[in-house]
Chains A and B, each alone.
Chain A
Amino acid sequence: MTTIKTKYNRRSFLTASAAAGGGMMLGFSWLASCTPAEEASAMLTMPDEWFEINAFLKIGDNGVVTIYSPNPEIGQNVKTSMPMIVAEELDVDWKNVLVEQAPLNTVKYQRQIAGGSQSIRAGWDSLRMAGATARHMLIAAAATQWEVPAAEVTTEAGIIKHEASGKSLGYGDVASAAAGLEVPEEVPLKERKDYKLIGTNVKNVDGPKIVTGDPLFGLDVKKEGMLIAMIVHPPAFGMKVKSIDDTAVRSMAGVRDVFTFSTYPEGIEKTWSDANAFPELVAVVGESTWQVMKAKKALQVEWETTSKAENTEEHKSAFEKLLNGKMEVARRDGNPEAAFRNAAEIIERTYSAPFLAHNTMEPMNFFADVREDGAELIGPIQTPENMRKTVAQSLGMEEDKVSVMMSRMGGGFGRRLYGHFGIEAAVISQKAKAPVKLVYTREDDMTQGTYRPAYMVTYRAALDENKNLTAIHIKGTGIGGSPVFENRYPAGAVENYLVERATYESNISTGAWRAPRSNFIAGAEQSFLDEVAEVMGQDPIEFRLALFEKAMNNPVGEKNDYDAERYAGVLKLIKEKAGWGSEKPGISRGVSAYYCHNSYVAQVVDLSMKENQPVIEKVWAAVDCGIVINPDAACNIMEGGAIDGIGHAMYSAMTFKDGIPQQENFDSYRLIRHREAPLAFETFFVENDIHPTGLGEPGLPPVSGALANAWYKATGERKYHQPFIEDEKVLG
């Protein structure tokens, strides 16, 4: 039997208490605002009392269970899948479950972050423990009441049973008694074969609210006395505010205040989440969004230059210079120099990609109500704990006086790891002495920075006279660092291996963008491997599998950050499922496989050309992410990841002239649209008992490689530089 020590997260239980009156209000607000499927609201009648069993759940006296989802929801669907794990171990019917977003609480919860595709992986133990412990305590309460041994008591979908006596009770009947019990030291966990909920398709818990337009997002927050705030930031990287002339603006309708401010006072301790190109801003505060927008446009600001104004063209030539100069060695196996000297043939290709903006559909925003005795913040943030740390320091308050509530987010993609907008909202609220909602315009959002860095990488392969691969040499550079992971495949599979890196420092700020580094390097690597396979006269899949064989049986080097068997496994699965080698006439196929965020993904892209335009007929995916919690939702995120990867590789770029972003809205920044999306998807999951790993990011990186490889088959043209399509005008 699998057991879990409850000590793992014992702090979750410190607040366990009987009778929590606040629960009634939560139940009420759900019923009042939810107008979907009648059967659901008819079934979930409001309980008279809730009992908080632990930090993750409370049970109503009528058996309705509320499960708190600890992590921020950015569209990766953890608000559904995390509570599913609790409900599985609690053994409750999902129809009787309500889900609430938990606020930031570092005492009760761990790692309340949406990032690195880690929510499910990192939460797996604590979520199971929360459900299993509660079930154990409910059983104990019933056993005491019935005066029978707990070992004879079982549960089924929220009902507690004692078979010998024929007695049964609902969870709600003993919730009060259970909440007062001592927390057990250790509890048994279900075996995988006994799962009833995990592995079934459960619909998004916020679905009914999303399709009816209920308030869910940060931008939807409205509070008594709330003002709207906007910021004005410098038009170019390398500039700052010199002075403002607000005389005209102050007399405009609805304008309450205009001032310059520093987001971070001197000497405070920042975290990595505080990356921010523009710490000094102008705030415009007023009564309504449109009035403030107009005032913001009318504001006269004088800027001054603080550092070099950069250009996209200069970045390209700087990257080329770095790649041809002396670089830092990140990994060396064997004698790559000798292998290249003795090579019968050398294949060398260079790949590049531009800066990208995150472009979450919901622009950056945050609500802050700062008073003398504390601050309340509500909004879209992937790193609430880091935000609270900096907000407290910026306001000169103790951290325990600052509360942060995460709203559902209109997209994250890494952008909301960097919470300067929350700090800004807090500082503005403090200065304006009013609750404010800070709203970024799309232009503010797109030109503020924190971009996916621009990258360039050169791959070289050495072949001997028999066309055997003898060495690989990779040189990578980019804004703020190289995109190459030196210990990932094909490292470990090639005798002579050299990875070199160089950094280009820029004043254009960069940050994590869905699957950092991988989002570029996977496509470059997988395109290159196809070229090598072609020169060697090998099938692309067989070539990759042979490298995995080598990495499995006779690995090169000590440190190889992947499991070659699982890696090969997804390739074999996609080969079988897609019927590799037997595609229909008119279809050109490309394959790709990549490992990141602890998960393995292989993809096949089926492409046809219609009127000289690529049509993506289908994307096939094979995924090994361990146990799949919610299969249809997992398919959804895989589809979205592939579309994200295809769209950005094909169409998107952020460029600079004299430090000024050349794209500032969707009329100049092209994103993939309906008609360019793949026509079909099919996703297959490897079945195993491995604990679940990431899904939010791994679907994106490999697809640009499969796309480039299919494109080559269709047209004979290799694509090396993103975006692949640059000439079409953007139209909305």
Chain B
Amino acid sequence: MANFDLSINQKKHQIDVDPDTPMLWVLRDHIDLVGTKYGCGIAQCGACTIHVDGVATRSCSLPVSAAVGKEITTIEGLSEKGDHPLQKAWLEHDVPQCGYCQAGQIMNAASLLKTNPNPSDADIDAAMHGNICRCGTYPRIKAAIKTAAASK
């Protein structure tokens, strides 16, 4: 066990965990931010996607020790009032079915839009390839990303 100073959603946290603890479990178990989801634990499904200094990262494979000194953003901190253009577009297109993967999808898409504000279909396919939606809401996710891009 060791102490780690973290900045999560622009708030400071000090937590005492094993250095190899993945950020996913730090967020979920120790900081009570459960919007970041566990899906596979091996960075193959994207449900646990967070931003590390603004870049989409699979939190299940990011040890807490590697997150020190970086700004961590989770779905809870993506916007102040749940009104990020992607969150609004997600509601407009009524994207979710079960809803479990959607936080990861939104976080991954938000990172994409930061570097590529007007992605093509192929850009979206390439960037979102690591995010599985078992319910099959892929076409709605793509439509919502385009709506959000157009609204910016």
Contact = CB atoms under 8 A, between A and B. Distances in A.
Contacts of A361: 37, 39, 45, 47, 98, 100-101, 132-134
Contacts of B82: 35-36, 208, 211-212
Nearest to A632: B94
A218 to B, nearest CB: 10
A641 B129 contact: no
Contacts of B40: 442, 665-666, 732
B131 interface: yes
Contact of A359 (B96, B97, B130, B134): B134
Contact of B100 (A291, A411, A640): A411
Interface string A16-52: 0000000000000000000111100000000000000
Nearest to A408: B99
Interface in A435-490: 439, 441-442
A643 B138 contact: yes
Contacts of B101: 361, 410
Contacts of A84: none
A74 B97 CA distance: 8
B141 to A, nearest CB: 7
A213 B34 contact: yes
Given A77-B97, A290-B17, A636 B137 contact: yes
A38 B98 contact: no
Contacts of B37: 217, 219, 361-362, 410
Contacts of B30: 288
Given A207-B96, A219-B38, A360-B134, A639 B140 contact: yes
A211 B140 contact: no
Interface residues of B, number: 66
A222 interface: yes
Contacts of A632: 94
Contact of B34 (A210, A215, A409): A215
Nearest to A203: B94
A217 B100 CA distance: 8
Interface in A277-317: 288-291, 293-294
B1 interface: yes
Interface in B50-105: 74-76, 78, 81-83, 86-87, 90-91, 94, 96-103
A207 B90 contact: yes
A542 interface: no
Contact of B28 (A75, A289, A633, A642): A289
B113 interface: no
Interface stretch (A151-159, A674-682, A686-694): A674-682
B97 to A, nearest CB: 4
A214 interface: yes
A206 B99 contact: yes
A678 B125 CA distance: 12
B33 interface: yes
A677 B29 contact: no
A570 to B, nearest CB: 21
A253 B1 contact: yes
B21 A290 contact: yes
B94 A204 contact: yes
A220 interface: yes
Contacts of B106: 211
Contact of B29 (A289, A636, A679): A289
B29 A639 contact: no
Interface string A221-263: 0100000100000000000000000000000010000000000
Contacts of A665: 40-42, 44
Contacts of B140: 636, 639
A408 B98 CA distance: 8
A213 B76 contact: yes
B136 A639 contact: yes
A640 B137 contact: yes
Contact of A411 (B86, B135, B142): B135
A76 interface: yes
Contacts of B25: 288-290
A363 interface: yes
Contacts of B149: none
A216 interface: yes
A321 interface: no
Interface in A607-650: 632-633, 636-637, 639-644, 647
Contact of A290 (B22, B74, B129): B22
B87 A212 contact: yes
Contact of B87 (A204, A211, A671): A211
B57 to A, nearest CB: 14
A211 B39 contact: no
A666 B97 contact: no
12 contacts: A203-B94, A207-B96, A212-B78, A289-B38, A290-B21, A290-B29, A293-B41, A362-B100, A410-B99, A411-B98, A640-B137, A732-B40
Given A442-B40, A674-B141, A732-B132, 4 more contacts: A204-B96, A644-B135, A666-B42, A675-B126
Interface of B: 1, 17-18, 20-22, 25, 28-30, 32-47, 74-76, 78, 81-83, 86-87, 90-91, 94, 96-103, 106, 121, 124-126, 128-142
